[in-house]
Structure 1
Amino acid sequence: MMLSVVVPVLDEEAGIVATLDRLAPLRARGAEVIVVDGGSRDTTATRAAPRADRLIAAPRGRALQMNAGAAAARGDVLLFLHADTRLPDDADRLIATALDRPGRVWGRFDVIISGSHPLLAVIATMMNLRSRLTGIATGDQAIFVRRDAFERLGGFPPIALMEDVAMSRALKRVARPACLRARVITSGRRWETHGVLRTVLLMWRLRLAYWLGAPPARLARAYGREPARRG
């Protein structure tokens, strides 16, 4: 199994070096790391280039960037990793073991949210439980998938938000996910910057609106992933 780690980035100069340096042991064992820049205005690309196998540019948007990275990847298993998320040291072995079972084509890790607020541990526990019960994963949980299954589904839908939920729903029709109890560590900076309870309530509202058919572009503006339109 060859693993390709796809990391979409946008203005991540503060943390991209640490993220990619932690992937060096996986690269030494044969995994490739592809960083996909969505138009960073800082030094993200310069810092990432020597620490990745490939640095490519793509239109801004996490789904578009991850699809571009997948198209450039050589691996038969794709792992989509947020720039502020850290994998377990033996992630490659864990993924290979999980996908070695008959019928398994995709999965995700449990998650820990780093930060000082005591509610972050509760939020992570609830995310992991909800994902295990529903078979829906979030991008924070480092989704991995066999390339052939990913390509059959056409990749991530080119929407501005909830691309991880939409992909999980599509993959779930193919097979239940491998829900690994090994944990990735993701940054709690958004929760702590904008308020933990406020962010949780916002995410619940956005997810409900998505299920009810609200346009993802409008949800992305409410979430802050896209700039507000003028005029």
Structure 2
Amino acid sequence: MYPSLSIIIPTLNEAKIINCLFDSISKQTFRDFEVIVVDGGSKDNTVKKIKSYAKKIPAIKIIVDRKRSIGRARNIGAANAKGNYLLFLDADVVFDRNFLKDCLAEFEERYLEIATCYITPLSPKLIDHVLHEAANAALKRLQYISPTSGGFCIFITKRMHNRINGFDARLKMAEDINYVERASRLAKFRVLKSCRIKISVRRLEKEGRAKLVLKYLYVPLYRAFVGEVTKPIFKYDFGNHDIHKKIDLKDLFIKLEKNFMAENKKQIGRFRKILEQINKL
């Protein structure tokens, strides 16, 4: 008999933190699930550590795909999933023992086809809690007008995943936001109220809070003025979080302006001609 829920987790060099997530999964009161890990060819002990949970979580499947595209990895996981519900998770999250039970109950009670949940940082620092509560406030308001979610936690029916043809594997960033936007045009999206997920602040620690927040603000601007992120616009690692390139934020916004001018040259030319005609009046 097939499980009702398939949990899909992309991994790459996550040996330092993967135990926390699998400890959370192994302690769940809801047990009708399978776990599908799509590993990007980890060079550490990620796969070995996951295999050590075989007794606690009998239904674990590990697929190795060295393309190292997070959208592609999620699609591979979904293609191998047997559950009617899919749950996409990042490798650095944790949750309490009733998380799956409470989330699925609310998901079904509200007749949802796609959802996310609120977040809590795994950090004692006040600034991290302020930043994450600001993100929660944005999630709460945007769910009604412009639904969005990060890949840390996305619940969706397999039917809806297939209907939108999964994640756009061409995208270098914001593939999760693009996925939620497309699904929410066809089905009801909401932020679940009954559960929260705890997420790592390792990116904030490595890159610096101000820089990372500005990166997150830069991406929607790029998408709004240029289009989907189909080529790298700055370094943003999938796995191997110990290596980061220093980013000149001023250079980022200069690059955005140049890309906008290049991509919209014709439209800008037409706009200037209209302005010239107006000035002659």
Asked if TM exceeds 0.5, the reply is yes
Report the Cα distance in structure 1 between the residues aligned to 2:48 and 2:234, rounded to whole angstroms.
28
How far off its partner does 1:102 sit?
5.9
How far off its partner does 1:184 sit?
0.2
Consecutive aligned runs of 4 or more in structure 1 exceeding 3 Å deviation: 217-222, 224-228
The aligned residue for residue 25 of structure 1 is: 27
Structure 1: any 5+ residue segments left out of the alignment? none
Q: Which has the larger radius of gyration?
A: 2
177, 181, 199: which is aligned to 1:169? 181
Q: Is the 8 A contact 1:27 1:33 kept in 2?
A: no
Report the Cα distance in structure 1 between the residues aligned to 2:8 and 2:233, rounded to whole angstroms.
22
Report the Cα distance in structure 1 between the residues aligned to 2:7 and 2:50, rounded to whole angstroms.
14
The aligned residue for residue 80 of structure 2 is: 72
1:148 is paired with a residue of what secondary structure? helix
Report the Cα distance in structure 1 between the residues aligned to 2:5 and 2:216, rounded to whole angstroms.
31
145, 148, 160: which is aligned to 1:149? 160
Per-residue CA shift, 1:2-38, capped at 9, x if unaligned? 1111111000010112211220133871211111101
Q: CA separation of 1:17/1:214 partners in 2, compared to 1, >3 Å: closer, same or farther?
A: same
Q: CA separation of 1:214/1:126 partners in 2, compared to 1, >3 Å: closer, same or farther?
A: same
The aligned residue for residue 140 of structure 2 is: 132
What does 1:78-157 correspond to in 2, within 5 Å?
78-101=86-109, 103-134=111-142, 135-140=147-152, 142-157=153-168
2:191 is paired with a residue of what secondary structure? strand
How far off its partner does 1:130 sit?
1.2
The aligned residue for residue 217 of structure 2 is: 204
Is 9-18 or 216-225 further displaced after alignment? 216-225
How far off its partner does 1:98 sit?
2.3
Coordinate RMSD, CA, aligned:
2.2
1:165 is paired with a residue of what secondary structure? helix
How far off its partner does 1:87 sit?
2.7
Q: CA separation of 1:35/1:180 partners in 2, compared to 1, >3 Å: closer, same or farther?
A: same
Per-residue CA shift, 1:47-82, capped at 9, x if unaligned? 112326111112211111111111111111000110
Report the Cα distance in structure 1 between the residues aligned to 2:196 and 2:10, rounded to whole angstroms.
20
Q: Is the 8 A contact 1:76 1:148 kept in 2?
A: yes
| Counterpart amino acid of residue 203 in structure 1 | Y
How far off its partner does 1:115 sit?
1.9
Report the Cα distance in structure 2 between the residues aligned to 1:176 and 1:150, rounded to whole angstroms.
13
Q: Is the 8 A contact 2:113 2:156 kept in 1?
A: yes
Report how many aligned residue pairs link the two structures.
227
Report the Cα distance in structure 2 between the residues aligned to 1:16 and 1:26, rounded to whole angstroms.
16
Structure 2: any 5+ residue segments left out of the alignment? 55-59, 246-281
Q: Is the 8 A contact 1:206 1:219 kept in 2?
A: no
Report the Cα distance in structure 2 between the residues aligned to 1:27 and 1:103, rounded to whole angstroms.
22
- Counting aligned pairs with the same residue, the percent is 25
Normalising by structure 1, we get a TM-score of 0.89
Normalising by structure 2, we get a TM-score of 0.74
Report the Cα distance in structure 2 between the residues aligned to 1:154 and 1:27, rounded to whole angstroms.
32
Report the Cα distance in structure 2 between the residues aligned to 1:126 and 1:219, rounded to whole angstroms.
27
How far off its partner does 1:148 sit?
0.4
Is 102-111 or 35-44 further displaced after alignment? 102-111
Report the Cα distance in structure 1 between the residues aligned to 2:232 and 2:29, rounded to whole angstroms.
36
The aligned residue for residue 36 of structure 1 is: 38
| Counterpart amino acid of residue 153 in structure 1 | I
